[in-house]
Amino acid sequence: MTVTLADVAARAQVSPATVSRVLNGNYPVAASTRERVLKAVDELDYVLNGPASALAAATSDLVGILVNDIADPFFGIMASAIQSEIGGPGGRAGGERLAVVCNTGGSPERELTYLTLLQRQRAAAVVLTGGAIEDASHVAAVSAKLRKLTDAGTRVVLCGRPPAPDTSAVALTFDNRGGGRQLTEHLIGLGHRRLGYIAGPEERTTTRHRLEGHRAALEAAGIQEDPRWTVHGRYDRRSGHEATLELLRRDPSLTAVVAANDSVALGACAALRESGLRIPEDVSVAGFDDLPFSIDAVPSLTTVRLPLAQAGRGPGGSPWGGRSRRPGDRDGAGELMVRGSSGVPRE
Which residue, among 251, 245, 312, 315, has the nearest Cα to 275 in the 3D structure? 245
CA distance 255 to 327: 43
CA distance 317 to 330: 11
Q: In what order do the strands lie in the sheet with 195-199?
A: 230-232, 195-199, 256-259, 284-286
Report pTM: 0.79
Radius of gyration of the chain, Cα coordinates, nearest whole angstrom: 22
Q: Which amino acid is at 5?
A: L
Q: Between β-strands 195-199 and 256-259, what pairing exists: parallel, antiparallel or unpaired?
A: parallel
Kindly give, in sequence order, each residue whose CB lies less than 8 Å from that of residue 260, ignoring residues fewer than 6 positions away: 198, 199, 200, 207, 210, 233, 235, 240, 288
Residue limits of CATH 3.40.50.2300 in the chain: 5-172, 176-325+332-337
Tell me the pLDDT band of 327, cut-offs 50, 70 and 90.
Answer: very low
- pLDDT value at position 65? 93
32: left (phi over 0), alpha (psi -120 to 50) or beta: alpha
Kindly give, in sequence order, each residue whose CB lies less than 8 Å from that of residue 175, ignoring residues fewer than 6 positions away: 331, 332, 333, 334
- pLDDT value at position 317? 41
pLDDT at 18 exceeding the cut of 90: no
Q: Which residues pair with 289 in a beta bridge?
A: 305
CA distance 334 to 193: 23
- pLDDT value at position 307? 85
* 153 or 43, which is more confident: 153
Mean pLDDT of the chain: 85
Q: Which residues pair with 103 in a beta bridge?
A: 67
Q: Which CATH number is associated with domain 176-325+332-337? A: 3.40.50.2300
Q: Which CATH number is associated with domain 5-172? A: 3.40.50.2300
* 74 or 88, which is more confident: 74
pLDDT tens for each residue of 194-238: 999 999 999 999 999 999 999 999 999 999 999 999 999 999 999
Which residue, among 31, 244, 1, 65, has the nearest Cα to 138 in the 3D structure? 31
- pLDDT value at position 271? 98
User: Helix, strand, or coil here: 66?
Assistant: strand
